[in-house]
Amino acid sequence: MGEGDSAAFLSSPLATAAAGLFGALWGSFFNVCIDRVPRGESVIRPGSRCENCGTPVRAADNLPILSYLFLRGRCRSCRAPFSARHPLVELIAALLAAAIWWRFVANDPTEANGIRVARFALYFAFSGVLVVLSFIDLATQLLPDVITLPAIPILFLAAFGAHAAGWTERLIGAAAGYLFFRIIADFYYYVLKREGLGLGDGKLLAAIGAVLGWRALPFVVFVGAFTGALISLPIALLTRRRQRGTATREPLRRLQVPFGPFLALAALAYLLIGPELLQRWLGLS
Ligand SMILES: [Zn+2]
């Protein structure tokens, strides 16, 4: 196939569907990471197994999304239920891969084929990191260093092959992302004398800046904080009301809505539609 034929294939709906399938298969691996990284276990070995009875999952039962539906969400040997998070993560990974292919490969015929595919690889790896970190943050309220710290230089370097945002923009993005949270954390600690927030969010924002560049950060922080507040305020009000209703005066539990998933969501929104939104709403480019 010549460059032109390849370009036509890359732009075809079939190629976008194949990207979705590729994403779903990686989604299975994302689940393994979400399950095992917080426990400090290897994500390579052993293969997938039932959390309850330890039976290895057969290859035929390891199809993304479909196996969960066929087996009605249960282990084939002991019938213990699997978390619905597994097919959800696989579905999210499939949709992200298809969307990234559609946006950066199928609909960008001006770039060379190699660059378009490199962009897909970079942005899908980036989304994978965001998905894994979000679900770990939801489950444990932590963003593990073992993912965030290597992600910053690896994604920064990988972006050179993909003609993403310029490297100075990305270097400033990584530094500014970390410093933004560092300054807030220090303010809480030294001025308000409170353990305000962890630096996991800062390392996550550094990884986001290392890929998308510093121009993305105001959008990511603003949209992340806004959607985070939109979700967490009703939860806070409901918990407070329920606690007021109880007879024993328990101390108000500290609200635990992690910020990581909202930063990740905002970063994905910026990646897929951010520049267009900014142009349309604010006249910025
Ligand atoms: Zn089992």
> In angstroms, rounded to a whole number, what is the distance separating the alpha carbons of residues 138 and 259?
9
Q: Which pLDDT score, from 0 to 100, does residue 191 have?
A: 83
CA of 107 to the centre of ligand 1 (A): 44
**What is the percentage of the chain residues whose pLDDT exceeds 70?**
91
> In angstroms, rounded to a whole number, what is the distance separating the alpha carbons of residues 285 and 279?
5
Query: CA 55, 61, 67, 72 torsion: positive or negative?
Result: negative
CA of 79 to the centre of ligand 1 (A): 6
CA of 136 to the centre of ligand 1 (A): 23
CA of 82 to the centre of ligand 1 (A): 9
Q: Which pLDDT score, from 0 to 100, does residue 256 have?
A: 65
CA of 74 to the centre of ligand 1 (A): 8
Whether the per-residue pLDDT at 153 is higher than 90: the answer is: yes
Whether the per-residue pLDDT at 120 is higher than 60: the answer is: yes
CA of 83 to the centre of ligand 1 (A): 12
> In angstroms, rounded to a whole number, what is the distance separating the alpha carbons of residues 107 and 246?
57
Q: Where does the pLDDT of residue 258 fall: very low under 50, low under 70, confident under 90, or very high at 90 and above? A: confident
pLDDT of 54-95, one tens digit each?
Answer: 888 888 888 889 999 999 999 999 999 989 999 999 999 999
CA of 166 to the centre of ligand 1 (A): 49
Q: Give 267's contacts (C-beta < 8 A, 6+ positions apart).
A: 130, 208, 212, 216, 220, 224
Q: Which pLDDT score, from 0 to 100, does residue 2 have?
A: 67
Q: Where does the pLDDT of residue 242 fall: very low under 50, low under 70, confident under 90, or very high at 90 and above? A: low
The residue extents of the domains of the chain are 1-91, 111-285
> In angstroms, rounded to a whole number, what is the distance separating the alpha carbons of residues 174 and 19?
28
CA of 20 to the centre of ligand 1 (A): 29
Whether the per-residue pLDDT at 250 is higher than 50: the answer is: no
Strand partners, 21: none
CA of 189 to the centre of ligand 1 (A): 46
- Which of 38-52, 97-111, 224-238, 250-264 bottoms out in mean pLDDT, i.e. has the lowest? 250-264
CA of 61 to the centre of ligand 1 (A): 12
Average pLDDT of 167-179? 96
Q: Which pLDDT score, from 0 to 100, does residue 280 have?
A: 82
> In angstroms, rounded to a whole number, what is the distance separating the alpha carbons of residues 280 and 285?
9
Average pLDDT of 101-109? 90
pTM for the predicted model, two decimal places: 0.89
CA of 45 to the centre of ligand 1 (A): 18
Higher-confidence position of 100 and 191:
100
> In angstroms, rounded to a whole number, what is the distance separating the alpha carbons of residues 70 and 200?
38
Q: Which pLDDT score, from 0 to 100, does residue 284 have?
A: 61
CA of 134 to the centre of ligand 1 (A): 26
> In angstroms, rounded to a whole number, what is the distance separating the alpha carbons of residues 33 and 125?
13
Average pLDDT of 162-191? 90
Whether the per-residue pLDDT at 31 is higher than 60: the answer is: yes
Q: Where does the pLDDT of residue 253 fall: very low under 50, low under 70, confident under 90, or very high at 90 and above? A: very low
Q: Which pLDDT score, from 0 to 100, does residue 246 have?
A: 53
CA distances from 260 to 39, 156, 174, 275, 280 (A): 19, 20, 16, 22, 27
CA of 56 to the centre of ligand 1 (A): 9
Whether the per-residue pLDDT at 50 is higher than 60: the answer is: yes
Higher-confidence position of 246 and 44:
44
Q: What average pLDDT is seen over the chain?
A: 88
> In angstroms, rounded to a whole number, what is the distance separating the alpha carbons of residues 227 and 33?
26
Q: Where does the pLDDT of residue 257 fall: very low under 50, low under 70, confident under 90, or very high at 90 and above? A: confident
Q: What amino acid is encoded at 113 in this protein? A: N
CA of 59 to the centre of ligand 1 (A): 15
